[in-house]
Amino acid sequence: ETGVTQTPRHLVMGMTNKKSLKCEQHLGHNAMYWYKQSAKKPLELMFVYSLEERVENNSVPSRFSPECPNSSHLFLHLHTLQPEDSALYLCASSQFAGGPHNEQFFGPGTRLTVL
């Protein structure tokens, strides 16, 4: 595997379910990100992890819980979601969090539908 991978690619869940999204980067980067992309809204940053430490939490509801066990893996744990949480969830990584030349490389995304 190369680059940034995400699983699953598609997920349908009920509002009472608990599920997790997984992201893995094979680029040797130190920073990882979760973004949310909803229809007709700009891409929104949710969380930033730098060296496995959360450095940014962009006012995200507590029903979204991130976890970064090591610099290569990032999870987004979901519970009691709402239909308006349906969106494309994108994971990204970069060499460092912040600083110049902070090119972020994105995974293919998980299309989440909450019923």
Partner 1 sequence: SQELEQSPQSLIVQEGKNLTINCTSSKTLYGLYWYKQKYGEGLIFLMMLQKGGEEKSHEKITAKLDEKKQQSSLHITASQPSHAGIYLCGADGREAGGTSYGKLTFGQGTILTVHP
| Tokens read off for 52 | 């496995």
Using alpha carbons, select from 20, 37, 17 the residue that is nearest to residue 92: 37
For partner 1, the binding residue among 11, 31, 76, 78 (CB under 8 A) is: 31
Residue 51 to residue 37: CA distance in whole angstroms: 25
96 near partner 1 (CB under 8 A): yes
Site string for partner 1, 54-93 (x = CB under 8 A): -xx-x-----------------------------x-x-x-
What is the contact surface with partner 1 in residues (CB under 8 A)?
Answer: 4, 6, 31, 33, 40-43, 45, 48, 50, 55-56, 58, 88, 90, 92, 94, 96-109, 111
